[in-house]
Amino acid sequence: MSSIDSVAYKYRSLCLSGIAEQLEQLLSQAEANDVSYLQFAEILIVHEHNQRNSKRIEQNRKRAAFLLHKTLEEFDYRFQTTISKREVNSLLNFDFIDTRENVVFIGPPGVGKTHLAIGIGLKVIDAGYKVYFNTALGLMEALELAELKGELKKKINQLIKFDVLIIDEWGYLPMNQHGMHNLFQLVNALYEYRSIILTTNKEFTNCNEFFIDDNIAVPIVDRLIHHSHIFMLGGENYRLKTKLNRCG
């Protein structure tokens, strides 16, 4: 008669570690619930499948490289009234990803743009997609570094493997022409192929303020806003509100 350990070892050697890790509990639950052989066969494989899914989601959360953990559940729509829960929820059927559309949050500092982008990003990961988060500046630096190593194409190819790229803080600092050129190559590779969630404090009509080279500015903005859901956020700065509350 085989011991649980030796059976678990056999499962593990076939890479069925989800079953292997919880074989004992699965067996005692099955005994307690008096399930049929067929049901038990199904329970085992469903368990393995679910474990793999949650592991993959956990890995995708790490790979996303979010700087902060911000959930949509924490977002207060009573404070931020220039976007509704319904508008945000309308994105959560993830059609925008399947149709390769972008989501753009425009607004002044502290109105919740990054919070919403990360909150949506987490839901996107939970739905099984791959997401990568970085600031525009961070991306620009990463591309520049890759270029120095002669690996710009490789880096862009890595980035376009993600279903959604979150580009935070577009336009906060002026970008040099070379950096913009690299970013343009990335945006061009993503265009109509992947989705971008972009946050920016600048209206695109004013784009020459932060793009030095208009020859790149126009086509890049064109690709960002074409097929996109644009949300103009306004209202008070949430950071100031919490500060004032603390003082008062």
Q: Which residues bind ligand ADP (CB under 6 A)?
A: 70, 74-76, 79-80, 107, 109-115, 199, 238-239
Report the candidate in 160, 166, 159 with the shortest Cα–Cα distance to residue 105: 166
* Residue 200 contacts Mg ion per CB under 5 A: no
The residues near 194 (Cβ < 8 Å, ≥ 6 apart) are 100, 160, 162, 163, 164, 165
- Residue 19 contacts residue 44 (beta carbons within 8 Å): yes
- For the bound state, the minimum distance from the C-beta of residue 133 to ligand ADP, rounded and expressed in Å, comes to 12
- Residue 83 contacts residue 152 (beta carbons within 8 Å): no
* Residue 182 contacts Mg ion per CB under 5 A: no
Considering the complex, state which of residue 88 and residue 175 has its C-beta at the smaller distance from ligand ADP.
88
Considering the complex, state which of residue 195 and residue 200 has its C-beta at the smaller distance from ligand ADP.
200
112 binds, among Mg ion, ligand ADP, none (CB under 5 to 8 A by kind): ligand ADP
Site residues for Mg ion, window 77-136 (CB under 5 A)?
A: 114
Q: Which amino acid is at 168?
A: D
- For the bound state, the minimum distance from the C-beta of residue 107 to ligand ADP, rounded and expressed in Å, comes to 6
Report the candidate in 194, 40, 66, 185 with the shortest Cα–Cα distance to residue 123: 66
Considering the complex, state which of residue 114 and residue 134 has its C-beta at the smaller distance from ligand ADP.
114
- For the bound state, the minimum distance from the C-beta of residue 61 to ligand ADP, rounded and expressed in Å, comes to 18
Q: What are phi and psi of 73, to 5 degrees?
A: -65, -30
- Positions touching Mg ion (CB under 5 A) are 114
